Amino acid sequence: MPSTLEGQITMEKTPSYFVTNHAPKRIHSMARDIKLIIVVRNPVTRAISDYTQTLSKKPEIPTFEVLAFKNRTLGLIDASWSALRIGIYALHLESWMQYFPLSQMHFVSGERLIVDPAGEMAKVQDFLGLKRIVTDKHFYFNKTKGFPCLKKPEDSSTPRCLGKSKGRTHPKIDPDVIRRLHKFYKPFNMMFYQMTGQNFEWELEGDNESRSSQD
């Protein structure tokens, strides 16, 4: 990490830190007072997005439905598949809580980050002890990508949007598979809500999908 002067904040982003077993200990030994920001989203949606990214690079891979189950007839989910294992957030958080208190962690809702980026960024700035400089005037919603883009209100430069790898259309997944995955994740989600003191309301999405698939 680069040297940080007084009054500066150095930030670094690597998604795999959260799910890498030895990362908490190594980061703690480097900077035990560090502040950690973790962005999470509905683990079912996250798994489908993960699969979509892989599919774009390896179109020959099996279908999502095949990879998600050890035995679909028996309903045995393959939790060893990384796309699904990453979404067991409570399991990963346990490792981090062995080294860091919750007061040094801030959890960002991936869903709310899309619909209310300024609101989520306000919480992040508060967590980091910064003035709320980034506000709603710094964002506009890109309908093509389905994500908010960042703009500088003080100039007319081109807004910065997420790259080509983001905002891809997800393949259509069997509704029964989605329902089974919501059921699989529910106890882990509940544990995660309890650990963080936040309810991300992912079960509401699952209930809505279940009802629509039954119509």
Q: Is 4 annotated as a binding residue?
A: no
Question: Is 167 annotated as contributing to ligand binding?
Answer: yes
Give the distance from CA 59 to its chain's centroid.
24
The answer to whether the annotation marks 166 as part of a ligand binding site is yes
Residues 44, 179 contacting (CB under 8 angstroms): no
User: Which H or E run includes 70?
Assistant: strand 69-71
Query: CB-based contacts of 190: which residues, under 8 Å, 6+ apart?
Result: none
Please check if 49 is assigned to a binding site: yes
Q: How far are the Cα atoms of 1, 26, 70, 105 from residue 30, in angstroms, in the given order?
A: 9, 6, 40, 16
Residue 28 annotated as part of some ligand binding site? no
Q: Is 146 assigned a ligand-binding role in the annotation?
A: no
The Cα 188–Cα 46 span in angstroms is 15
Give 61's contacts (C-beta < 8 A, 6+ positions apart): 54, 55, 67
Q: Is 179 annotated as a binding residue?
A: no
Q: Which residues make up each annotated binding site for 3'-phosphoadenylyl sulfate?
A: 41, 49, 166-170
What are the binding residues?
41, 49, 166-170
